[in-house]
Every structure is written in C-alpha cells, then in structure tokens.
Amino acid sequence: MIYPIVKYGAPVLEQEAHPVTEFDAELRRLVADMFESMYAAHGVGLAAPQIGIPRQLAVIDITTGQDPAARLVLANPRIIRTEGKQREEEGCLSLPGFHADVNRPARVTFRAQDATGKSYEKTGEELLARACCHEIDHLHGKLFIQHLSALKRDLIRRKVRKLAKAGDW
Ligand code: ZN
C-alpha cells in the first residue's frame, strides 16, 4: 500500500516519535509499505512520521531500488559516532519543491534494529550519512529547515503558508 506523504505543517512531523516495541507481522507490513511509498515518491529515505505514524521507524535506500542489498530498516536508531563535515543540497518529501544546503557529518555510525528486532550497527558516508541524519532527525520531530538560518527558515515557512492559503500545499 502506498501511503500519502504528510507535508510540513502537520503536527506529527514536529513531535518526538514513540519507540518500536513489537517486531511482528504488522511491523513488517508497515516496513514493506514504507519502502513502496518511498519508491513511489522517488525518495532515498522515509520516516514513519512522514506517513502520519509517530513511531521510531525509517527506511533508507540510496540506490532508489536499484540494489536490494542497499535497503535499510532503522527501528529505534541512535547515532553513536560522527566524523568530519559535508555541506550539500538537501530536500525532503514533506517539503516538496524546497531545497537548501545543509551541514552534516561526512561519516555517521548508527545503531538500530531491523524489521525482526535484531540490533545492528552501520557506518555510512556521503549520501548515506546525510540520509541517516535526515531520517533520524524526523523521528525526533526535526526537519532539515531547522538546520538553516532563521532567515532562510522563515522564508520557506512564509512560502509554504502562501501555498497553503492558495490550496496548493
Ligand atoms: Zn525528510
């Protein structure tokens, strides 16, 4: 099932998500639906709050479906180590049409559980490091615009408000 993506302005995007406690068939269904929804939206990552579900769950595939081995399920993820710095343009499925340069670590090691509840650790660089930080931020109610200057953030907020007023958001 393809879920519609929740857009900026929805309270669920700015709330702390609840930990995943049950690794059952329902969770595996949700994970499969999240991959399907992410691919349909041409994203490289999707967090559960973006489909209106406040759970600490995200999926990432920086190959956009090209390599099945690149699929990552992050349940209850925690960043445990970061190194270096990178600055690249970033966007978000919940803020369609908006992009901005965001500082992120160049290399990120995180610990998470997979869809069966098994703990694992992984280190990602470049786009994977960026995607991990971006998706984990979502689970704590944080969007990429919170990494921008107040000026840039307000500009985007104003534009979104205008679009919403016109019924285009
Ligand atoms: Zn996002």
DSSP output for the chain: -PPPPPPTT-GGGGSPPBPP---SHHHHHHHHHHHHHHHHTT-SEEEGGGGT--BSEEEE-TTTTS-GGG-EEEEEEEEEEEES-EEEEE--TTSTT--EEEEE-SEEEEEEE-TTS-EEEEEEEHHHHHHHHHHHHHTTT--GGGGS-HHHHHHHHHHHHHHHHTT--
Ligand 1 centroid–CA 156 distance in Å is: 15
pLDDT of residue 15: 97
Q: Which residue has the tokens 């919403």?
A: 164
Q: Give the pLDDT confidence of 102-150 residue by residue, as tens digits.
A: 999 999 999 999 999 999 999 999 999 999 999 999 999 999 999 999 9
Ligand 1 centroid–CA 131 distance in Å is: 9
pLDDT of residue 46: 98
Of the chain, the end-to-end C-alpha distance in Å amounts to: 23
Domain ranges of the chain: 11-165
Ligand 1 centroid–CA 60 distance in Å is: 11
Class of domain 11-165: alpha beta
Ligand 1 centroid–CA 46 distance in Å is: 7
Q: Which residues of the chain have pLDDT under 50?
A: none
Ligand 1 centroid–CA 8 distance in Å is: 10
Q: Phi-psi category of 60—alpha, beta or left, where left has phi over 0 and alpha has psi -120 to 50? A: beta
Asked if 78 contacts 109 with a C-beta cutoff of 8 angstroms, the reply is no
pLDDT of residue 127: 97
Residues annotated catalytic, as ranges: 135
Closest CA to 95 of 14, 2, 25, 1: 14
pLDDT of residue 35: 98
